[in-house]
Amino acid sequence: MFRQEGGLTPISPCLGKTCDNHKIPPGSAGLGLGERLNTTQTDLVTVAPFRAWPGWRGARPRQPLRGVFRGLGRVLQVGDFVGMICFMRPPNPTGNIWSDHEIDLVVADYFDMLQMELSKQPFVKARRYAALHQIIGRSKKSIEFKHQNISAVLHKLCIPWIRGLKPMANYQKALVAGVERHIEAMNAQGFMHEIKVQEMEEAGDLFFGSPPVLAASQEETPEYMERLIRKFDPAVRDAQNKALGDQGEERVFHFERVRLQRAGCEGLARRVRWVSQEDGDGAGYDILSFYPDGHERLLEVKTTNGHRKTPFYISENERAVSVERPDDYRIVRLHDFATDVGAFELRPPLEDVVNLQAVSYRAQFS
């Protein structure tokens, strides 16, 4: 139970209800966690419940939290209840500008549904829209459109988005800022690392498609969106996620064995090696495999939970091996690894199939 200081009426968790017990007397002040609410009008307080995020570190978890909390979207945990404090004000039917409070609540609701989708848990979007409508007064269609804007922002960040909410790219700067606030609060890197990869239905089974076509020019992106991409660089995110990289390499390792077995090359299948696990990362490739005629395949595996155009890093050693052995070397790109994994191969010369950018230099004195 959430209580106000000074003997005021207790506030019980609910969603969208506006009974008399939820009213704050004008001019009252409730103590919050590190901040104080001063109100000069009657506000309606609700707690929008949602599921706990994996790896979430809340303020004083499992401790009684006292006070009225200012700021829509503040995440709290009391016992096993995780909720979001908001203040419901009369809707403005003529206003079109979304407040930060409204954006924070809609963004948090979106990420909650995303986590449920990735965890294969059922939810009904219409019910979520109805609950948000009760809180912020926006139409259900307006809320759905804002969720599609969030999908567009996540697509730019190469983060999985809810499949039933197709990206709508005409998002505003305020929404991008709201997504940034939520990612920072929930630790986006940790979230992406903890996405559970589904079990393979058949060991080594993979579907290979054609690689993306190298674009002649880059798509124009607003500067505030470019800044957010730099801040949460998907290439850095994937490079730092060793568990994801290992899972991708293992998937390709099994696939290569199965591919050779299906071709009747049992002997070659037994010779397939997971080089990065057995010998370390210095070879410039991860998997040593073979063509049915016995020629070697040197496979460097790059894995992401993002979409097929998610950028990735190539080391100088990997690039050098691709130049030395262009007929044998392949980059195997696995994408959408947490949802519906797809794959494609890139063959040298790499400069012809990807846009290589120097991001660091080695400094020496000779």
* Residue % of the chain over a pLDDT of 70: 69
Strands 36-38 and 273-274: unpaired
Structural domains in the chain plus CATH codes: 1-90 (no CATH), 93-196 (no CATH), 223-352 (3.40.1350)
Question: Does 297 have pLDDT greater than 50?
Answer: yes
Please say if the pLDDT value at position 198 is more than 60: no
Q: Residue 360's pLDDT is what? A: 79
Residue 186's pLDDT band (cuts 50, 70, 90): confident
pTM: 0.72
Residue 10 has pLDDT above 80, yes or no: no
Helical (H) or strand (E) element with 219: none
Q: Is the pLDDT of residue 343 over 50?
A: yes
Name the packing angle between helices 173-186 and 140-156 (round to 10°). 70
Assess whether pLDDT exceeds 80 at residue 24. Answer: no
> What is the signed CA dihedral for 259, 260, 263, 265, rounded to 10 degrees?
-170
Nearest in space to 70 (alpha carbons), one of 35, 42, 98, 43:
35
Q: Which of 80, 7, 14 is nearest to 45 (CA)?
A: 14
Per-residue pLDDT of 39-87, as tens digits, reads 333 333 333 333 333 333 333 333 333 333 333 334 343 333 334 444 4
Greatest CA span in the chain, whole angstroms? 83
